[in-house]
Amino acid sequence: MKPKTILHSDCNGFYAGVECLLNPELNNRPMAVCGDPASRHGIVLAKNEKAKAFGVATAETIWQARRKCPDLALVPPHREEYVKYSRLCNEIYLRFTDLVEPFGIDESFLDVSSSRRLFGDGKTIADKIRETVRRELGLTVSVGVSFNKIFAKLGSDYKKPDATTLIPEDGWQSIVWPLPVGALLFVGRKRAAELSKLQIRTIGDLAAYDRAALVKRLGQAGAQLHDHANGVDESPVASFYAEREVKSVGNGATFEYDVTDHEDLKTRVLALCDSVGWRLRKKNLKCRSLQVSIKDPNFKTINRQKTLERPTNLTMDLYRDALELISVNWLMGKPIRLITVTAGKLEQAEKSVEQLNIFEDPGEIAKQEALQSAVDSIREKYGKDSITPGALRPRGASSGAKREK
């Protein structure tokens, strides 16, 4: 079978780039997008090249950034514009193939294997895409071209901004193997530290490492990483138009009496979130949004939703966000007749790239996922009621689960 041609296109400095389009004056000076520009303690979410030259770094406070660069222009994020430009980028990619799979807001995979006759080889298409995005949108992208997704992604990181990097079927080893292992997709800082304990520092070290030993150490993830380091990745690029099989997963309960007690409410919300999370995990999905509907005894209903900081299917994540939605939008103690919790914006669990959240510890998330799957496997074995969702509560959290046996 002829090797595939896969592209990964990644916008360079996407948020800052869009902000400079909205306000071209920003182009000429160091600027940063900040969570809360009015507060000294707001955090830098993105910056342009000029700010980078002053040493301004993502995740530092405005106060720290201003010390390095007193002249730094600060702007709040305009999320709806980012979504719009993200769509415009994908529309350009779709001129070359239907197989466009967004991978986060500012990057997408493209399978152009069947487009080569029409548009030329992978590098030619990549160059065309870069030129088109620059001319039509005023943004720059870096594109990796290779025979699988993992190396295409690696290629888009290899040279920035506004560059095409080809990682060819013949001779990829000389480009890929000398790179630090952290350059591989799915190797975060924690995983890299873990690998470095095994003397694995480069992708070449990983490729040469004994596979069985790696699997013993890291489980299935070890096998996958070993494959990737050896250029083996068969994962397909999904069609942009592929029907999302399930659009949302929700669960609601009409209470046998109007609930007013806070602890009572928490227990019930936990049970709902647990059931939603369980169904997501069963389907191997994660959600990016959560909606809560609350109905009062007079059938007055409010619907509130929020976008989650990262995709999740963990009961406790859903619970925390659902409670937040309720407490912000509902006066505690006001009677509730019915609550519905719905998870939306679903995606395949293994595909979901966890947007960098500077406040979260990836090790902590892994720990929670491990705890969750331990609880799930007890349930698989002994039935759904063998263990209550209360088992997932962090120690010290108030327990409302006692009513459940």
- Which position among 101, 107, 136, 360 bears the catalytic label? 107
In whole angstroms, the minimum distance from the beta carbon of 160 to Mg ion comes to 8
**Strand-strand pairing, 301-312 and 285-295:** antiparallel
Alpha carbon distance 377, 294 (integer Å): 32
**What residues contact 164, with CB distance under 8 A and at least 6 apart?**
123, 126, 127, 130, 142, 143, 144, 145
Q: Which one, 142 or 202, has the nearer CB to Mg ion?
A: 142
Contacts of 161 (CB under 8 A, 6+ apart): 12, 13, 49, 140, 142
For the question of residue 107 being annotated catalytic, the response is yes
Residue 48, token pair as written in the block? 């342009």
Which H helix or E strand runs over 46? strand 44-47
Shortest separation between residue 49's beta carbon and Mg ion, angstroms: 13
Q: Which is nearer to Mg ion, 11 or 34 (CB)?
A: 11
DSSP 242: P
Nearer to Mg ion, 10 or 233 (CB): 10
Nearest to 241 by CA among 101, 371, 54: 101
Where along the sequence are the contacts to Mg ion (CB under 5 A)?
10-11, 106
Closest to Mg ion by CB, 106 vs 317, is 106
Alpha-carbon gap, residue 197 to 305, rounded angstroms: 43
Nearer to Mg ion, 88 or 374 (CB): 88
Residue identified by tokens 């909205």 is 22
Q: How far is the CB of 156 from Mg ion (least distance, A)?
A: 8
Q: How far is the CB of 198 from Mg ion (least distance, A)?
A: 30
CB of 106 to Mg ion, least distance (A): 4
Catalytic residues: 107
